[in-house]
Amino acid sequence: MDQRVEHVPHAELPGAAWQGRFAALGPAFHTELHPTPVPAPYWVARSAGMARELGWPADWWQAPEALALFAGNRVAAGTRPLASVYAGHQFGHWAGQLGDGRAILLGEAVAPNGDLLELQLKGGGLTPYSRMGDGRAVLRSSIREFLASEAMHALGIPTTRALCITGSDLPVRRETLETAAVVTRVAPSFIRFGHFEHFSYSDQHAELRQLADFVIDHFYPACREPAAGQPGNAYAALLAAVALRTASLMAGWQAVGFMHGVMNTDNMSILGLTIDYGPFQFMDGFDPGHICNHSDPTGRYAYNRQPPVAFWNLMALAQALMPLIGESDHALAALEPYKTAFPQALQARMAAKLGVAEPREQHHALAESLLGLMARERTDYTLTWRRLTEHVAGAPADTFTELFVDRAAAGHWLLQYDELLAPVPQGQKLDLMQKSNPRFVLRNYMAEQAIAQAKLHDFSVLQDLLAVLERPFDEHPQHAAWAGLPPDWASSIHLSCSS
């Protein structure tokens, strides 16, 4: 492993203050190492919004050391780069020890509001946890993750973020020969369910407790204060808090028609964030059983199975925490609220898509009826909800019903909708719908267009797409084509775990 890197003076970096709380946990949790340099790096994309949240100036990327730093060719003084160890269940089977096989954590940058945000290089080179991998990421997958991270954030769904992508013409083999890239990911923490599984399954219970205390102290301090009638077990309270965040996350995914594709326990964030974008997809034609990952032939992670799989993963986390929780009844009680929190959160989101702020059972039934119509005809998910929004704004009924083959059924549903929601003031209804039904999502074909041009070192489509996805509820008339139906060739796009 090439360890020839340069150290950059701390004061010259845009993030002048660095911390390393995870690094301080000790060698049982990670291996400290430097990223492996790439030849002739170049900028591919940058998120100005993420840079603002870090408190960095607009021209931060023009600093002479910035490109080298985020390509992994230099290491900033004050950082302690590392790869963490974790384990996990993959496609329902215990996979044993895993870890950051191609991600290297630089450290924590201090944001202007005092928050600490971890910066991680994905594609930074070999680590002790790479197993049979090469430690690299490719341009294709890096662009998909970069765009998806910023798109999900703009949709209001918890997610890791992306600061930038650097590229290199270094060849990397996947199914075909591609070129290397490094995406800089940002999150309060990249700790996963699998981190807890690693220490629990290896009987390292002291480290398991150390990790749980770290997460509670820094991210869930309220778990130290037992609620009335609760057993006062901080670790059971942690499990309950994670379950509630996960329930909210699943509701967010389902409401926008998002499929993760690889919901292994090592891809589940302890903070309830969307993490590790691989073969993800935003729904085109609505199919509740749609499988977006061709490496998932049984459909374990199909769209309609994501909520129960999330609960399965929470059960795995509960099992990992049992040495700390002690009583199985406490763990089961901690998980029980998921069963009501998820449907409540999803019903609230779906009601908002209808324009209802205070949903009742009839609103839930109305949404389910529309989803049934859409499923029968594979009607475009995003476009259907946006056309309903346009109808409320004053567009004729045909704007909505023309999406359906059975226009009579669609028209009947629309009459029911208009009648049920007639008491809701139009302005109130429309405001909520315009904030809940995006005009743009990151469809696979859009990402493919950006990738195709980026391979030619033309990043203009990527920049246009980022600008649209950062404001997905706006009109963007100059990019109206991206708000319409996907082209026919989009259905031939196949995604796998290498995507």
Number of CB atoms found within 10 A of residue 329's CB:
11
- Residue-level pLDDT at 2: 39
Q: Which helix (H) or strand (E) holds 235?
A: helix 234-256
CA dist 333 and 28 (Å) reads 31
* β strands within 17-150, DSSP E: 18-19, 30-32, 42-46, 74-76, 82-84, 87-90, 93-97, 103-110, 116-122, 137-138
Which pLDDT value is given to residue 496? Answer: 63
Q: Which residue has the tokens 């398991």?
A: 208
Place of tokens 């950062």: 470
pLDDT tens digit at each of 499 positions of the chain: 333 444 443 335 555 578 899 999 999 999 999 999 999 999 999 999 999 999 999 999 998 889 999 999 999 888 899 999 999 999 999 999 999 999 999 999 999 999 999 999 999 999 999 998 899 999 999 999 999 999 999 999 999 999 999 999 999 999 899 999 999 999 999 999 999 999 999 999 999 999 999 999 999 999 998 664 455 799 999 999 999 999 999 999 999 999 999 999 999 999 999 999 999 999 999 999 999 999 999 999 999 999 999 999 999 999 999 999 999 999 999 999 999 999 999 999 999 999 999 999 999 999 999 999 999 999 999 999 999 999 999 999 999 999 999 999 999 999 999 999 999 999 999 999 999 999 999 999 999 999 999 999 999 999 999 999 999 999 999 999 999 999 887 777 776 666 5
Sole residue written with tokens 């709380």: 21
Looking at residue 1, its pLDDT comes to 36
Domain layout of the chain by residue ranges: 6-189, 348-436
Half-sphere exposure of 414 (CA within 13 A, CB side): 25
Tokens 């034609």 -> residue = 285
- Name the residues annotated as catalytic: 266
- Angle, CA of 163, 166 and 171, to the nearest 5°: 145
User: pLDDT value at position 232?
Assistant: 72
Token pair for residue 296?
């998932």
Of the candidates 186, 172, 177, 164, the residue with the CA atom closest to the CA atom of residue 44: 164
What are 447's two structure tokens? 């990402």
Rounded to the nearest 10 degrees, the angle between the axes of helix 444-454 and helix 460-469 is: 150
